[in-house]
Chains A and B, each alone.
Chain A
Amino acid sequence: MSRITREEVANLARLARLDLAEAELDEYAKQLEIILESVAKVGEVATADVKPMSHATGLVNIFREDKVETSLDREEILKSAPATEDFRFRVPRILDEE
């Protein structure tokens, strides 16, 4: 398996929104390499005709009726917010457009 570089760790951290410190990049590079080498063992198994298992119950078609239920009290949800304004969640400026 490929070695994990500092740059790859930095890229993973960027995708995962983690502002890793410089020292952490080296530490994680080492640890991720060991872990990923170990989990790569799944590649040894022959799985040509195997259907991937994403769910454990075998259930399908579980739906709810289209019925309106009571929403939460607005005060209840806003009281835990780091910042609010005009009954909305206040968030820092956004640089990227979607």
Chain B
Amino acid sequence: MSSYSDAINKYDPVLGLETHVELSTKSKMFCGCATDFGAEPNTQTCPTCLGLPGSLPVANKIGIESTIRIGLALNCTIATYSRFARKNYFYPDMPKDFQTSQYDEPLCSNGYLDVLVDTEEGSKNFRVEIERVHLEEDTGKLTHAGGATGRIHGANYSLVDYNRAGIALVEIVTKPVPDTGEYAPLVAKAYVTELRDLLRGLGVSDVRMEEGSLRCDVNLSLTPKGSKTWGTRTETKNVNSLRSVERAIKSEIERQAIELNNGNTIKQETRHFQEDTGTTRSGRSKEVAEEYRYFPEPDLVPIAPDSKWIEELRSQLPEQPSIGRARLAKEWGFTDLEMRDVATLGAVDLIAETISFGASPSAARKWWAGELARKASEDGVDLTVLKISAKDIARIDVLVTEGKLTDKLARQVIEAILIGEGNPDEVIAKRNLAVVSDDSALLPAIKEAIEANPEAAAKIKEGKVQVVGVIVGAVMKKTGGSADAAKVRELVLKTLGS
């Protein structure tokens, strides 16, 4: 028995997720600075997002509308009166030493998101209830310097880039999710996947976990089976890929179960997920409780959405991802199971994009859910992180269809793209990978193969054409698989006058 099934046999996990989404507004939430990812340090800053003395915030309308749209898509109630609040704590990445956020008056509350998970009894629906959706601002980015590890511990000093400070950040908080049993890690992963697709469908965020525009904190507690009271929960931060969501919950279930089995209590604390080991480690425990001294932000006036505005935003919502997927499955000719696989992998949008670049649906699925999913899993990353685009895959598919690449060659092209050798055509040129169907290039190899297999050649000449495979095989081996087999066959027969 694994420690995981042991844990699940004794305890019921209760999970909760806090997801931070960076909105893709053109300008920051409270000032006009640009939000481009990867810009030169501190070039996207102004008095307001640097918190300079005297500066004031003005709320970005699209930021507010995006938050309301997220709330509507998550079946939330939209507040008729909502205020920003200041969350007061000191930290060098926060220019004002308070974060403009929302406290007891979030824009949206009480919603839900349904997710499907494959269980032993087949596909099962889990309803994840949403506590609140609120709007706040992001912090600056710290780089730790002078230490050996580049981590905060052991660093001699840190450097701050405030380009990210003030970018609109939406926080989506679930209610505690009980009764998921052994499927807790899968439910969490399905929730984040579904949420990501929903946000992308809304067009409110890039939702790139690898760039930090979608970030997850995972809360988890264990309840002994049969007990009614929930255990003490931990909050795990830094869970920044779909795969990590699943792994973090699994490992935290195992860790807490061991603690409880040993008669220890669970400490209410913040933990950090470590990608390399797949486990969580304890954060520096705070000797005193947090005291954020929230109060209504006097520099920003209340938001009071009227029903006309809300209904207008509601009417602009795209279809729900699950409905969208059913439509796409039909359109693409995928079975329900195929579609669910693709969704679990987070590949729906990638496939759609690949198809838009001219690939066939089945080929797009074959590559993303096959070769590339395997690669991503090997590297322990999400599909979207792979350094290959939908456009590349579409091009490869076209080349295969035209007979210019074999499947085997296509896999080599993909390998090369993933390690940064360029686009498909560049890789083919550089590595000389195109299918050889040119007579003059093939004839020497054919001649050599015939000479090496005199018996087979003789039989072919006698009309026993079925033996041709021996020589074709030899030619293919000689050319490293880059030859067009049909063409080789035709040339061998022609050469032997059969």
Contacts and interface: CB of A to CB of B under 8 A. Distances in A.
Contact of A88 (B41, B46, B293): B41
Nearest to B296: A54
A21 to B, nearest CB: 20
Interface residues of A, number: 38
Nearest to A80: B52
A55 B157 contact: no
B32 A64 contact: yes
B42 interface: yes
A71 B33 contact: yes
Contacts of A97: 152, 270, 272, 283-284
Nearest to B292: A15
Contacts, number: 134
Given A61-B304, A63-B64, A67-B32, A91 B41 contact: no
Contacts of B31: 69
B58 A89 contact: no
A96 B83 CA distance: 30
Interface in A76-94: 77-78, 85-94
Given A60-B304, A89-B162, A97-B283, A68 B58 contact: no
A19 to B, nearest CB: 13
Contacts of B300: 62
B32 A62 contact: no
B34 interface: yes
A88 B33 contact: no
B291 to A, nearest CB: 6
A62 B301 contact: yes
Contacts of A95: 284
B458 interface: no
Interface of A: 11, 14-15, 17, 54-55, 57, 59-72, 74, 77-78, 85-98
Interface of B: 25-27, 31-34, 40-47, 50, 58-64, 83, 90-93, 139, 142-146, 152, 155-162, 270, 272, 283-284, 286, 288, 291, 293, 295-296, 298, 300-305
